[in-house]
Structure 1
């Protein structure tokens, strides 16, 4: 059994049937990141840890913006 696959094996895979599934996921993920960054930028004076949230949004691909919208928007609220 072969445990290591190189780039030669990936060249033989036809990715065209997967394109209708992959492209909407990429578009939705990019849109979510952009909306989260715009919201963070607009409320940067009231948010705490703007740099940390920027890194989380950008580096934790799809879950970073979702985590920001759930927890990060509560940073600047007056309690």
Structure 2
């Protein structure tokens, strides 16, 4: 990929990168603060970090234990 192409795609990629980073940080902070989760915390941390943008979303939908 040429530098010129990269700069042309940057306005499209920057918001996605920022959303990914925000979801990652929010997910990990929530996981650290939560006393109980559905499953081991270490497994949820791996999902949040390694499953790209969907990892934090999966955690918020299925990993958090209310109450």
Q: TM-score, structure 1 length as denominator?
A: 0.74
Compute the RMSD of aligned alpha carbons. 1.7
For 1:50 and 1:65, the matched residues in 2 are separated by 13
2:27, 2:59 within 8 Å by CA — same for their partners in 1?
yes
For 1:13 and 1:50, the matched residues in 2 are separated by 43
**Map of 1:50 onto structure 2:** 41
When Rg is computed on C-alpha atoms for both structures, the one with the higher figure is 1
How far residue 12 of structure 1 moved from its aligned partner, in angstroms, is 6.7
For 2:64 and 2:50, the matched residues in 1 are separated by 18
Q: TM-score, structure 2 length as denominator?
A: 0.87
How far residue 17 of structure 1 moved from its aligned partner, in angstroms, is 1.1
Q: Which structure is higher in helix share?
A: 2
Off by >2 Å, runs of 4+ in structure 1: 10-13
How far residue 15 of structure 1 moved from its aligned partner, in angstroms, is 1.1
For 2:47 and 2:60, the matched residues in 1 are separated by 12
**Map of 1:72 onto structure 2:** 63
The number of equivalent residue pairs is: 66
Larger relative contact order (CA 8 Å, sep ≥ 6): 2
